[in-house]
Structure 1
Amino acid sequence: MHNRNTLPVGSKLDKYLITGVLGVGGFGVTYKAKDEAGTRVAIKEYLPAELSYRDQKSESVRPRSKSDFDDFMWGLRRFKDEAFSLVRFEHPSIVKVQRYFETNNTAYIVMPFYPGKPLAFYIKQGVLFNPEEAEFMFDYLMQGLTSVHKTGMVHRDIKPDNILLLDSGFPLLLDFGAARQRLGEHSQQMTRVLTPPYAAYEQYISKSHVGCWTDYYGLSATFYECITGQKPLDGMERFVALHDGDPDPLVPIPDITPYAHNERFIEILMNGLAVNQEHRPRSYEEWKSRVSRTSKTQYLKW
């Protein structure tokens, strides 16, 4: 029996056959599907649960009320904008959008189906990534993320669940959260999207200024956990401690990792985990040069 808000397995969606559900969230549904040639794809559907529902007879998505209609349509436009932004990116560490289409009174994004498991899966299994693995993945993701930031786009929801480790061994950044974050800020009905402890402090603050530095925090927090097996302390808790004049309660990485990680790589992560956004770099180049001035060791690829 399928979730009442998802399309049933076996149903047709434009030229695709739905073969399963990959995930259901507050902003929409992601399906496994096949096109007419039998190629597997993933399809993301815009269906903000707090604003809309699926009509069981027509399978169309409907706003829950007249008052929700404007917010639903506003979010739909942001969903479309994000899709057309992602179409431009070609870096292999960034999820590729193949197609955007509208039907069922909503919109869909078609992406390749990527075989692999999220970093969160390995963390839950107790896997700790060694220095070579961690630095390679970090550098590879930063290359793609930099191309995104140069367009003015911000991911806003980097965390272990949103980084897929492909069967090929390469990492892939999934599930950009800009559209749903902006909808959360726009609509009083929508919950603000953030995931403690990977969310930067500014994401907790209404109408705060987010940017590439916000993604640097999420990526650094993710790799903190990847190499220590422990989640970093929540940014808001750290802010409160520092505001009260106490030392930063974040446990230093060397104290809790069994590996002798590159000193410069550790410094990069801690730099990215600065609570105050003003203390984080404003570009990839600044991040690299800032650490270069303070560390004598070499980073794997820099």
Structure 2
Amino acid sequence: MRDAGGADGSGEGAAPGPQTPRTVIEGRYELLESIGSGAMGEVWRAYDRRLRRHVAVKGLLARTAMTADTRRTAMQRARREAEALAKIEHQNVVTVHDQVETDNQVWIVMKLLEGRSLADLLRRERVLGVPRAAGIGLQILQGLRAVHQAKVLHRDVKPGNVLVRDEGLAILVDFGIASFAGANRVTKFGVPIGTPPYMAPELFAPASPGPTPASDLWALGVTLYEMAEGRLPFRGHEVWEVQENIRGTPEPPYRYSGPLAPVIQGLLAPDKDDRLDAATAESMLQEVLRDPDLPAVAPAEQPTQAAAPDFTPDPQPPGPVAVAVPDEPAGEQGGRRRGWKAGLAVVLAAVLAGGGWYLSRGDEPPGSSGNGSGGTAPAVTAAEKRWKKWRSANEVLRVGVKADQPRLSEKLEDGTFEGFDVSMALAIAEALGYERGDVQFVAVNSDNRSSMLTHLQVDLVVASYSITDQREGEVDFVGPYIYAGRTFLVRKESERYKLDSSADIKKEDVAVCTALGSTYVEHLKEEKYRIYEPQPSGYEGCVKKLLNKATDVYAVASDDILLAGHAYKRPDDVKLLEIGAGTEEYGIAMRPGDRPLKGKVCEALGQIITSGEWKTMYDEHLSVLSLPPRGAPDPPKCAT
């Protein structure tokens, strides 16, 4: 295996370097320099003498220090990695050229990839921002789908095993602990193999069936969270610590994820049966990347090295373990390992410990009752004090509105918003003491608006948000501020179907599109309509599919006000069907327990309705639509 001659002489592309003895495998692959190592192997930059090209060659670590049993286990793992990789051909998965076995060693010959690991990228940049994180995450997912289609499970998806090239291509590497159909899973003492912060909770459940594609998707969710938030969602020195953190705090906080949060939340569902499948996750990531209002993390908002929790996985303790040691360096550990807990007591503890992002905005923690302790001050005085404190801490009012609902709430080409909901939001802001320039509109959709509130990205949501019993726990409502009916939007001309009523839609069993997270998902299921999958994040996505004759979408289900705006904007292409049964009440939403804001918003809405301002807004924006006439709702009842 040793060769004193170095590279093969004279041909173009011959490996340069000093004439010192080098390892040459099978007389063909000359090992030039080590370019990386981890718990499962060492990777060399090598020269293929036969094809005159540089390649990457991976072999086992510390072969001479292994016992006979550990050597057999390590070789079995390496053979499995080569077999697993040889099954897959995808641009987001490393390519295997060859497999060679010599002297109790297995060598895997792969395409040499130039780039840095995602772990290196995160160490340097901390937070990647939503567009970049979504783009890399989508590529990892597409690679995983190819892996799973080949009946292979990666089992160690993490930033250290993703290579990011300069042009942005992300490549999934290191299949050292992969498993595939027909192979025996290698574990030690029956314990699953993997890197603790990325291991799905079901792997440790009694009578666990072992890793599944859903386990890889969990690890992708952890990786997406790292990219977007700059930290791990669940930390711990050992497997049991990570798993206890997942059980105790299944919902990590989201500060920078924005529209990525629903994707991550879906991938991090503790019950694998509730977890997003790969196809749905891919569709959601694509929707995020198509969003024209996609927010990148501004440099001023990114966590600093001193302030941000460390994203590097905790080091493994010494001694034999069945869990792979992370490839990342063990530095920068610090003491920021506390989990985020639901409830006031722990939120306050986090604030006192230095994580004062919550109350720094002047918000009261969820469930707080303010000055409700029965003191001598009159209740109105206590309420005014709470409001003044809230108002002084919030110089800008951030309002979530939709960007794709003509006449109701629409983003214009110049970046401004207009419509009935927008006018309602501005009128409320004025009553709260805000000037027009102090109101910041943020585009939301049906799927992310509650998380945008929860994670402090908006203060209010005025976005055709239907008041339902199911939503009362996740947000607080003031309203209703308008009523809407239910209806369908269909193509005006269809070569295949004649759709003049909801009965025609059901009879023809056509695909009905509705937005992800809307009340219509359950309604359509109950009424036995066929729902188009996957659901887009907004109704504009449904309308685009309806207008595209290459799709299987022939109807869109939603509220009459919302769909009437699309029919008004595209009168030659689509039409509304009759208004169906049911009424939707739109409410103004805010975080639960935000008493100072809720009280003022309630007062403001009452004034808007009783003063005649509501009718002025309705006449300006909605009276031109082909809808049954409707009047203002009753003023809301406000707590004193």
Q: TM-score normalised to the size of structure 1?
A: 0.75
**1:151 alignment counterpart:** 150
Map 1:88-167 onto structure 2 (within 5 A).
88-167=87-166
The letter of the residue matching 1:224 is Y
C-alpha deviation, 1:89, in angstroms: 1.5
**1:28 alignment counterpart:** 41
The letter of the residue matching 2:279 is E
1:288 to 1:133, Cα distance in 2 relative to 1, 3 A: closer
Aligned length: 267
Distance 1:16 1:241 in 2: 46
**2:250 alignment counterpart:** 248
The letter of the residue matching 1:210 is P
Distance 1:168 1:287 in 2: 24
C-alpha deviation, 1:127, in angstroms: 4.1
8 Å contact from structure 2 (residues 267, 275) kept in 1: yes
Q: What is the root-mean-square deviation in Å for CA atoms of aligned residues?
A: 3.4
Distance 2:179 2:152 in 1: 13
Between 1:194-203 and 1:100-109, the stretch displaced more is: 194-203
**1:64 alignment counterpart:** 67
The letter of the residue matching 1:175 is D
Distance 1:191 1:22 in 2: 30
Distance 2:45 2:179 in 1: 21
Map 1:178-217 onto structure 2 (within 5 A).
178-179=177-178, 184-185=186-187, 187-188=188-189, 193-204=193-204, 208=208, 209-217=210-218
1:177 to 1:28, Cα distance in 2 relative to 1, 3 A: closer
Distance 1:75 1:207 in 2: 26
8 Å contact from structure 2 (residues 92, 170) kept in 1: yes
Map 1:11-26 onto structure 2 (within 5 A).
11-14=23-26, 15-26=28-39
8 Å contact from structure 1 (residues 224, 230) kept in 2: yes
C-alpha deviation, 1:194, in angstroms: 2.1
Distance 1:126 1:137 in 2: 14
**1:222 alignment counterpart:** 223
Instruction: Please point out which of 51, 64, 85 is paired with 1:54.
Output: 64
> What's the secondary structure of 2:22's corresponding residue?
coil
**1:270 alignment counterpart:** 265
Q: TM-score normalised to the size of structure 2?
A: 0.38
8 Å contact from structure 1 (residues 96, 111) kept in 2: yes
Distance 1:121 1:271 in 2: 26
The letter of the residue matching 1:23 is G
Instruction: Please point out which of 58, 73, 80 is paired with 1:44.
Output: 58
1:297 matched to 2:297? The reply is no
Deviations 1:105-151 (A, max 9, x none): 22111001100001111211134222222222222221221111122
Distance 1:33 1:229 in 2: 35
**1:73 alignment counterpart:** 72
C-alpha deviation, 1:27, in angstroms: 2.8
1:38 to 1:9, Cα distance in 2 relative to 1, 3 A: farther
The letter of the residue matching 2:225 is Y
C-alpha deviation, 1:216, in angstroms: 0.7
User: Which consecutive unaligned segments of at least 5 residues does structure 1 have?
Assistant: 1-7, 56-62
Distance 2:149 2:105 in 1: 29
1:242 to 1:183, Cα distance in 2 relative to 1, 3 A: closer
**1:280 alignment counterpart:** 275
Deviations 1:40-98 (A, max 9, x none): 21111135x5xxx328xxxxxxx514xx1xx6435534532431331232210001111
C-alpha deviation, 1:9, in angstroms: 7.7
C-alpha deviation, 1:289, in angstroms: 7.6
The structure with the largest alpha-carbon Rg is 2
C-alpha deviation, 1:35, in angstroms: 1.3
8 Å contact from structure 2 (residues 201, 246) kept in 1: no
The letter of the residue matching 2:48 is D
Distance 1:119 1:9 in 2: 34
1:9 to 1:200, Cα distance in 2 relative to 1, 3 A: farther
User: Which consecutive unaligned segments of at least 5 residues does structure 2 have?
Assistant: 1-19, 285-446, 448-514, 519-535, 546-640
8 Å contact from structure 2 (residues 78, 176) kept in 1: no
Distance 2:97 2:135 in 1: 27
1:80 to 1:230, Cα distance in 2 relative to 1, 3 A: same
1:196 to 1:30, Cα distance in 2 relative to 1, 3 A: same
Q: Report the identity percentage.
A: 26
Distance 2:143 2:106 in 1: 26
Distance 2:52 2:215 in 1: 39
1:103 to 1:177, Cα distance in 2 relative to 1, 3 A: closer
1:183 to 1:274, Cα distance in 2 relative to 1, 3 A: same
